[in-house]
Amino acid sequence: MVRAVSLNAGMKEKATIFFPGKVDDSILTFFLTHGESVNLAKGDTVPKQTLINSFVFLREGLLFYTTRTNNYSKPKFITVIFPNRLADYHLLFDDNCTCCKGIYAARDSEIIVINKQKIRELVQTRPDLFSQFTLDAAYYTERQTTLAVFLLTSSPEDKLLKFLFDTLVVLDTDFSQQWLTVHLKLTRQEIAEILHISVIKLDLMLGELKKQGLLRRVGNKLQVRVDYFHPLSPCPLGREDANGCQSNNMSKFRAGNLITLNNGG
């Protein structure tokens, strides 16, 4: 039987659409050495002037990054930013960027703020590190585009399936267990906003999963039965690449691509 279990470290880092990729160690060291720490209370927003002039990196907490799309009926989508993951690379070189409409703290958070000029100076002082910034910026842009396409074209059921899987992967969940605990507190409204669906639709889907025995609440934690993810392939960007993913259409995220066989093979 094919099962979404025993994902290795490389698979886990590439398995998410809803969450940005991890920051390269060399960039992380640069952040911590040259950046300024700023604490945000829940609900605080990062000032627009900071976004224009600086690079924002999340050290602790949880951020929601609201971005515009070209779909006028749904003009924004939300990226969930975890600590030590990419945050705002698309603003790296453009001081006049107006596409970022807001980064706000979903929980009490600590961010590291670095003036962009320090990054530009790397062209002369650390060209290798500057190249790493450029490569990661390109990856972030591609990933953001994929996320927008996925949110605007996939069914609510597929979006919920992928979101729960991505959340568990980011939290380093052991997929060999029968019940997987979601150690992340998000309100129903927050989840609905992330998935571009209504709260009513979310409640209907969660209720159906509970009826099927695939979802339950234990205390204040949500648990998902691993069987729910058996048909899912953890494709990194939803595109054809060396890892075998075939399409950005969720119907192609099926068994066989990056899932480990449960027979030791």
- Please say if the pLDDT value at position 49 is more than 60: yes
pLDDT attached to residue 203:
95
* pLDDT band for position 199 (cuts 50, 70, 90): very high
What's the pLDDT tens digit per position in 234-246? 454 443 333 334 3
Taking the model in full, what pTM does it have?
Answer: 0.76
- Please say if the pLDDT value at position 265 is more than 50: no
3-state secondary structure of 247: coil
Give the residue, 45 or 139, on which the prediction is more confident.
Answer: 45
Give the residue, 148 or 207, on which the prediction is more confident.
Answer: 207
Q: Give the count of alpha carbons within 13 A of 88, CB side only.
A: 35
